[in-house]
Amino acid sequence: MKFNKLDSVEAIVTTVNEIGFLPFFANEVAGFSIEEHCPHELWFSDSADGPWEWKGPVIRSGCLYGKFFRNKAGFVSREWFADFANYRRDGYDFDSRMDEGIAPHKDEEIYTAILQNGKLLSKRLKEICNYKKGGNKGFETVITRLQMCTYVDISDFVYMTDKNGKIYGWGVAEYSTPEYRFGYDAITAAYKREPKESFERIVRRLRTVLPEASEQAIRKIIML
């Protein structure tokens, strides 16, 4: 597949939906990222929005976003997320992991807090689960693991405003579950397949759209 410039929200949404997967940062598959196809001048422009600001609008268009690729961020289309989740979850809903005692306690706490609230800004999530000075440690490790396993995603980025209503700073991640946004049936639609079958379907898909990439590199970025 020949990549066009990823220079707008629309270009990114189109590419995610065409391919099914799109890492944000450069990775083992050369040329397979927003970083490599978005013009350099848009990354930190004072006069125009760029890829950092586009993440929220792309998510709101229906794409799923999180740390999905070797602990780094990227997008997955709704069409392919069911197979992605089926592989990454390895046949387990999160409650099954809890029932069988294989979910770490910190994962349970954070996942349960998100589930009970529907969606939570990272700051509030840390407060609820006591990730503050003198409290629990390792928030980023836990929230990344939950994203890599597809139980949690980032449902938006929220910008803070000052007393005059002016936006400032970086967007704050809002965490949710894919099921909260799209429904349980849509996210688990591939559960009828074995997780290995879903993995091979994804690999075949990426080999088709990325013919110059090695199968080893493709498998590496998709594997948990």
pLDDT tens column, 76-125: 999 999 999 999 999 999 999 999 999 999 999 999 999 999 999 999 99
The predicted pLDDT at position 159 comes to 86
Q: Is 188 exposed, middle or buried, given 0-12, 13-18 or 19+ CB atoms closer than 10 A? A: middle
With a CB cutoff of 8 Å and minimum separation 6, the contacts of 210 are: 1, 19, 29, 32, 218
Query: In whole angstroms, what is the distance from residue 68 CA to residue 75 CA?
Result: 8
Domain map of the chain by residue range? 9-222
Q: What is the pLDDT of residues 93-107, one digit of tens each?
A: 999 999 999 999 999
pTM value is 0.94
| Closest by CA position to 179, among listed 122, 94, 100, 96 | 94
